[in-house]
Amino acid sequence: MPLPVPVFSSYGSLTEPTGIDLLMEDLGRAFNNDPQMRMLGGGNPAAIPSVQALWRRRMAELLEDGDSFDRMMVQYDPPGGNPAFLRAMAGLLQQEFGWPITPEHLAITPGGQTAFFHLFNLLAGAGRDGGPARRVLLPIVPEYIGYAAQGLHRSFFVATPPVIEDSPDQNRFRYRIPFDRLPWSEPIGAVCLSRPTNPTGNVVSDSDLGHLIDLTRERGVPLLVDNAYGLPFPGAVFTEAKPLWDEHVILVLSLSKLGLPGTRTGIVVARPEIASAMRRITSVSALANNNVGQTMVLPMIQSGEILKLAKHTIGPFYRDASARAQGWLDEAMRGAGVDYRVHHSDGAFFLWLWLRDLRITTWEFYQRLKERKVLVVPGRFFSFGLDEPWDHPDQCLRISFSQPEQVVREGMRIIAEEAARLSKPRAIPAGNLP
Amino acid sequence: MPLPVPVFSSYGSLTEPTGIDLLMEDLGRAFNNDPQMRMLGGGNPAAIPSVQALWRRRMAELLEDGDSFDRMMVQYDPPGGNPAFLRAMAGLLQQEFGWPITPEHLAITPGGQTAFFHLFNLLAGAGRDGGPARRVLLPIVPEYIGYAAQGLHRSFFVATPPVIEDSPDQNRFRYRIPFDRLPWSEPIGAVCLSRPTNPTGNVVSDSDLGHLIDLTRERGVPLLVDNAYGLPFPGAVFTEAKPLWDEHVILVLSLSKLGLPGTRTGIVVARPEIASAMRRITSVSALANNNVGQTMVLPMIQSGEILKLAKHTIGPFYRDASARAQGWLDEAMRGAGVDYRVHHSDGAFFLWLWLRDLRITTWEFYQRLKERKVLVVPGRFFSFGLDEPWDHPDQCLRISFSQPEQVVREGMRIIAEEAARLSKPRAIPAGNLP
């Protein structure tokens, strides 16, 4: 007699198939089993030769020293992170931005994604006071796919469609925060924004961010800023923008886009009460963090070299990659005669493509492309928290340009070919938005 | 005006100070800031020179290869783990034990502690059906400190005091599962046992484990077995015992006690429905695992060398360390004239000391010892899930013997001195249990 499958508790909501799950499984499977697949789907950073060489040299150094290597492998650090790393990180943020950050403002987590999982569920959801469950307000959607399933409570996120702003540049557009329509009437536990935004490559302007900081401060609501691609590192930002921090802002940095995603290292910068809560959550849920990422970058944080790496290597690498990728995409789309828009690429390493005339949803389009060995991410997975239906994301998809030229270029050619084949004929010539 | 501290949701229960938190903070702080502290508190594995040399050689190999190193750092694996690692691990378990394990039965987690955090909350707590919240039954307490605060629901664990069995060996005792008194009348979502047991060093016998497997199978309740110290690796088991697995058993292994705690790598072995649920939880809560641990041990899993390492190096190392540590403890305690018992040391790297005549609780004793630069863990933190008061754990403490001889020996001498100073005078000479 087969055993019955155990009944899951409400925590089982985390086991339901999700967009991020699909993305990661496809990504991982293709990397490991299907070398022909053109990986324009995942968030995997580029293999930048000089950066990889840097990490190889650093590891060789640790091995030469011996003790440092052994210590990294054989010792548990405190749950909040390595004390030397925390001191160095606090010093860097103080010096670079003048923020009053001490090690007490910091907590390391097993990757930025894990930081958000805990922060969201800590700040929103059902309270112990029996009041209405608080929600996480996303001031701009589409927003990062990885948040979508993280809430342990139903109707966890809340958002309204963004302002869609036409651009003076041909075939470009931009989303802006719909300040007039933000759903403040809901019970809000936190506000969250990725900057640069994954998936769109948007970098919300300093003045819009400042406005958001004021609005959240007034309401006593924490503002979470996901800095996975931002400043001071990894520095995949191509516009003038500066990071902002305040007592009620929770900034989350990551080592992943420095070429170290395999180490899973996130850094939470927050007022001490929040940082301390995160340290405790790590101790309960994970005992301690992995040490490898922190140990690898420690000397570069101590010396400030990490800022130069971000500014002179990683930033320009992705800026150039974005410019080239936009060129290829424009060329492919125009060549195929497809009506399209691309979100302004201010940072990160994605292009967000809008195909208004597609006869099918980009979810179906994604599957066609996969058959042609091109992996992208369909737009709908980045759209959540909306109480009203919104078709727009089903006309959009995310294309990563972090892979080598040939892969990106061929992928874009195939996307354009398929888009031409699957678009409605359009009487009005493609141009600015109607 | 200072900002109000955000109100935490019910998830905030994870942020309350706990035993594990205290342990990890003390441990980490002492390691990093107080080299004089004698670390008999933490679960840090020993630095076994030949094992550390092995990991250094392996890392050097990865660096020489270059590509393998880069891949480990720069690529996300699928959330369930590295496919090559999962294939090798399934093959190893099949061959060694004849279990029908495939890669579909496996899920990697960021450490064993994280596996239990998710498994507990998945299998117990409030259901979506509105029925009574299910609890995790601990068949034997004292049990691992790290579980205590993991439940997201109140009254998460349930247990009854164990059978305390006298030993023919002088100054030894043993806990046994109180089969007659297990609280099956409660709604039980899972049963969990660490084997070897942390903190006591107990290895529940094959026949008792078999009985527990039958009891849980009959009831359709998953049985979680924490194999952090067990077989086939790391192999810190000093008695005849074999691991058991069944469709309803969830075995959790870890790379930590192979000398790799800094990589945070746990391995869940479970029926595919559970393994798949764990993979999804990892994707949502952590995106992917760190790659370093899996990459480090991969060739040894593929070749089966890991079994030899466990059997011929790690097992004997801790067995000898335990024998020596028991000798030092007996010598120190007898020399100081203290009435004491030690739990039979069947595995792991702790001695569980029972001081019946102590005038203060071991929680107070712990603080005295800390002033004398000896860090142990007081017994009460390992006692949870009991609905009735039970004084016994306040007479006990956990002593780790994984540190170098001088540290362990001096620590034990100081423990004996303080115990003598703080014990009630006893008319009856120390001997067997009354």
Is B43 an interface residue toward A (CB < 8 Å)? yes
Instruction: pLDDT band for B228, please (50, 70, 90 cuts).
Output: very high
Q: Helix (H, G, I), strand (E, B), or coil: what is residue B4?
A: coil
Q: Is residue B136 part of a domain?
A: yes
Is A29 an interface residue toward B (CB < 8 Å)? yes
Question: How far A103 CA sits from the closest chain B CA (Å)?
Answer: 13
Tens-place pLDDT, residues A29-86: 776 778 888 989 877 888 899 999 999 999 999 999 999 999 999 998 889 999 999 9
What is residue A30's predicted lDDT score, i.e. its pLDDT? 74
Query: What average pLDDT does the structure give for chain A?
Result: 93
Is B154 an interface residue toward A (CB < 8 Å)? no
Question: How far B287 CA sits from the closest chain A CA (Å)?
Answer: 6
Q: Is residue B429 part of a domain?
A: no
Question: How far A35 CA sits from the closest chain B CA (Å)?
Answer: 14
Asked if B125's CB is within 8 angstroms of A11's CB, the reply is yes
Instruction: pLDDT band for A1, please (50, 70, 90 cuts).
Output: low
Does the pLDDT of residue B49 top 70, yes or no? yes
Given a contact cutoff of 8 angstroms between Cβ atoms, the answer to whether B213 and B249 are in contact is yes
Of the candidates A55, A189, A292, which has its C-beta nearest B9's C-beta?
A: A189
Give Cα separations from B112 to A281, A284, B106, B224 (angstroms).
Answer: 15, 12, 13, 12
Of the candidates B9, B14, B75, which has its C-beta nearest A261's C-beta?
A: B75
Q: Is residue B404 part of a domain?
A: yes
Q: Quick one: A199 and A296 in the same domain? A: yes
What is residue B128's predicted lDDT score, i.e. its pLDDT? 75
Q: Is residue A241 part of a domain?
A: yes
Query: Encoding tokens for residue B7?
Result: 């109100």
Of the candidates B27, B127, B262, which has its C-beta nearest A73's C-beta?
A: B262
Of the candidates B42, B123, B284, which has its C-beta nearest A18's C-beta?
A: B284
Asked if B289's CB is within 8 angstroms of A263's CB, the reply is no
B3 CB neighbours in chain A (<8 A) are 217, 220, 247-248, 271
For A:89-118, CB contacts with B below 8 A are: 110-111, 113-114, 117-118
Instruction: pLDDT band for B36, please (50, 70, 90 cuts).
Output: confident
Of the candidates B72, B84, B274, which has its C-beta nearest A262's C-beta?
A: B72
pLDDT, average across residues A310-338: 97
Query: Hunting for tokens 């691609």 — which residue is that?
Result: A229
Query: Hunting for tokens 């995409």 — which residue is that?
Result: A329
Q: How many domains does chain B have?
A: 2
Asked if B149's CB is within 8 angstroms of A284's CB, the reply is yes
Of the candidates B153, B220, B292, which has its C-beta nearest A292's C-beta?
A: B292
Q: Is residue B426 part of a domain?
A: no
Instruction: pLDDT band for B377, please (50, 70, 90 cuts).
Output: very high
Query: Distance (Å, rounded) from C-alpha A330 to C-alpha B400?
Result: 64
Does the pLDDT of residue A159 top 70, yes or no? yes
pLDDT, average across residues A159-166: 97
Q: Quick one: B92 and B223 in the same domain? A: yes
CATH code (residue B252): 3.40.640.10
Does the pLDDT of residue A150 top 90, yes or no? yes
What is residue B18's predicted lDDT score, i.e. its pLDDT? 74
Query: Distance (Å, rounded) from C-alpha B420 to C-alpha B338?
Result: 5
Neighbours of B388 (CB within 10 A): 6
Q: Quick one: B33 and B136 in the same domain? A: no
Range of the domain at B282: 76-303
- Amino acid code (one letter) for A96: E
Q: Quick one: B269 and B397 in the same domain? A: no
Is the pTM of the predicted complex or chain greater than 0.80?
Answer: yes
Q: Quick one: B329 and B265 in the same domain? A: no
Q: Helix (H, G, I), strand (E, B), or coil: what is residue A303?
A: helix
pLDDT, average across residues B77-101: 96
Q: How many CB pairs below 8 Å do chains A and B form together? A: 345
Q: Which residues contact B59 (CB under 8 A, 6 or more apart)?
A: A59, A63, A69, B296
Q: Quick one: A256 and A141 in the same domain? A: yes
Boundary residue ending a domain (B303, B332, B359): B303
Tens-place pLDDT, residues B285-342: 999 999 999 999 999 999 999 999 999 999 999 999 999 999 999 999 999 999 999 9
Quick one: which of B283, B350, B322 has its CA closest to A25? B283
Q: Is residue B59 part of a domain?
A: no
Quick one: which of A258, A260, A209, A230 has its CA closest to A347? A230
- Amino acid code (one letter) for A232: P
Question: How far B222 CA sits from the closest chain A CA (Å)?
Answer: 7
Residue of chain A nearest B154, judged by CA positions: A128
pLDDT, average across residues B409-429: 88
**At what angle are helices B272-286 and A19-33 packed, to 10 degrees?**
100
Query: What average pLDDT does the structure give for chain B?
Result: 93
Helices and strands, number each (H, E), in chain A: 12, 15
Cα A204 to its chain centre, rounded Å, is 14
What is residue B4's predicted lDDT score, i.e. its pLDDT? 75
B226 CB neighbours in chain A (<8 A) are none
What is residue A127's predicted lDDT score, i.e. its pLDDT? 81
Q: Quick one: A136 and A20 in the same domain? A: no
Q: Quick one: A233 and A110 in the same domain? A: yes
Asked if B285's CB is within 8 angstroms of A9's CB, the reply is no
Does the pLDDT of residue A338 top 50, yes or no? yes
Q: Quick one: B337 and B293 in the same domain? A: no
Q: Quick one: A379 and A243 in the same domain? A: no
Quick one: which of B93, B409, B101, B37 has its CA closest to B271? B101
Query: Distance (Å, rounded) from C-alpha A312 to C-alpha A51?
Result: 11
Asked if B24's CB is within 8 angstroms of A288's CB, the reply is yes
Does the pLDDT of residue A428 top 60, yes or no? no
Of the candidates B16, B259, B284, which has its C-beta nearest A74's C-beta?
A: B259
Given a contact cutoff of 8 angstroms between Cβ atoms, the answer to whether B354 and B201 are in contact is no
Question: How far B92 CA sits from the closest chain A CA (Å)?
Answer: 21
Q: Quick one: B191 and B321 in the same domain? A: no
Does the pLDDT of residue A427 top 60, yes or no? no
Query: Distance (Å, rounded) from C-alpha A252 to C-alpha B230?
Result: 37
Asked if A285's CB is within 8 angstroms of B150's CB, the reply is yes
Boundary residue ending a domain (A303, A336, A366): A303
> What is the separation, in whole angstroms, between the first and last Cα of chain B?
64
What is residue A434's predicted lDDT score, i.e. its pLDDT? 43
Tens-place pLDDT, residues A385-423: 998 999 999 999 999 998 899 999 999 999 999 999 999
Neighbours of A241 (CB within 10 A): 18
Does the pLDDT of residue A22 top 90, yes or no? no
Asked if B56's CB is within 8 angstroms of A9's CB, the reply is no
pLDDT, average across residues B143-168: 95
Tens-place pLDDT, residues A351-370: 999 999 999 999 999 999 99
Question: How far A297 CA sits from the closest chain B CA (Å)?
Answer: 12
Does the pLDDT of residue A204 top 90, yes or no? yes
pLDDT, average across residues B211-232: 96
Question: How far A80 CA sits from the closest chain B CA (Å)?
Answer: 9
Instruction: pLDDT band for A229, please (50, 70, 90 cuts).
Output: very high
A124 CB neighbours in chain B (<8 A) are 9
Q: Is residue A432 part of a domain?
A: no
CATH code (residue A338): 3.90.1150.10
A121 CB neighbours in chain B (<8 A) are 9, 11
Asked if B221's CB is within 8 angstroms of A74's CB, the reply is no
Asked if A271's CB is within 8 angstroms of B3's CB, the reply is yes
For B:158-197, CB contacts with A below 8 A are: 189-190
Of the candidates A153, A264, A280, which has its C-beta nearest B15's C-beta?
A: A280
Q: Is residue B231 part of a domain?
A: yes
Boundary residue ending a domain (B281, B303, B325): B303
A134 CB neighbours in chain B (<8 A) are 9
Does the pLDDT of residue B250 top 50, yes or no? yes
Query: Distance (Å, rounded) from C-alpha B416 to C-alpha B419?
Result: 5
What is residue A375's predicted lDDT score, i.e. its pLDDT? 93
**Total count of residues recorded for chain A:** 434
Does the pLDDT of residue B428 top 70, yes or no? no
What is residue B434's predicted lDDT score, i.e. its pLDDT? 43
Does the pLDDT of residue B208 top 90, yes or no? yes
B29 CB neighbours in chain A (<8 A) are 78, 83
Asked if B291's CB is within 8 angstroms of A262's CB, the reply is yes
Q: Specify the range with the lowest mean pLDDT, choosing from A203-212, A250-259, B24-33, B40-49.
A: B24-33
CA dihedral B400, B402, B406, B411 (to 10 degrees): -10
Is B74 an interface residue toward A (CB < 8 Å)? yes
Query: Distance (Å, rounded) from C-alpha A79 to C-alpha B146?
Result: 12
Is A222 an interface residue toward B (CB < 8 Å)? yes
Q: Quick one: A81 and A141 in the same domain? A: yes
